[in-house]
Amino acid sequence: MKCGIVVFPGSNCDHDCDHILKKILNQETHWLWHKDEVDLSSFDLILLPGGFSYGDYLRAGAISRFSPVMNSVIRFAENGGKVLGICNGFQILLESGLLPGALMQNHTRKFICKNVYVRVETTGTPFTQKCNDKSVLEIPIAHHQGSYYIDPHSLSDLEEKGQILFRYCDAKGGISESSNPNGSVGSVAGLCNEQKNVMGMMPHPERCADPLWANIDGQSIFQSLISQAENAKRT
């Protein structure tokens, strides 16, 4: 799988993603600088990593959305290319209109950095096909503006179309107010577009995917994308 990792001023999880994809999962990776508008048609995956692009000024992701590389990312996505946004990358995807809704300050008004549990809501996407349906993954979060919001009608629409991929839950998969760390509506932790080729999530799967660590739950997301890319090349 040929992966492009976008680097914005303030990205700080780009090398984490590169380490997992290249060193652990043996995939081809390339850096994509935010100022460069380039042809991405040869890539299998474009990844927007976490961090604090442009210092989160105005709103998280609001300035990065206008970086020249995002014109390339939008064209890539519109042509069916796979795009994954993690944390700040998720924020940028929302600001760019590639995903619906918005991310606001956590309901506690505090930065949250801890492990959380998320439940896999569907395995029928390129991002989750190697996960078990309704399985529970333990994945770290680290954000201040991570509370997902969308109006109730649109939330129902996302549910009906199978676009909600992950929800915050407890260790047994139960969903409640106490298992929701940031106040996201519907306990949404990750979602995709209607075409299911663009996905954003606040938790960091790249931080739990190295076998040297006790937890490798995040690997299933990357393995799903690798499997999808390999299958696409066979057809």
Q: Is 169 a catalytic residue?
A: no
Q: Is 206 a catalytic residue?
A: yes
Cβ proximity of 218 and 208 under 8 Å: yes
Helix (H) and strand (E) counts in the chain = 5, 11
H or E element, residue 75: helix 68-78
Q: Is 192 a catalytic residue?
A: no
Written as six digits, the tokens of 93 are 């995807």
Nearest to 143 by CA among 183, 84, 97: 183
**Which is catalytic among the residues 3, 13, 17, 87?**
87
| Rounded-to-integer distance, Cα 168 and Cα 176, Å | 8
Q: Which residues are catalytic?
A: 87, 204, 206
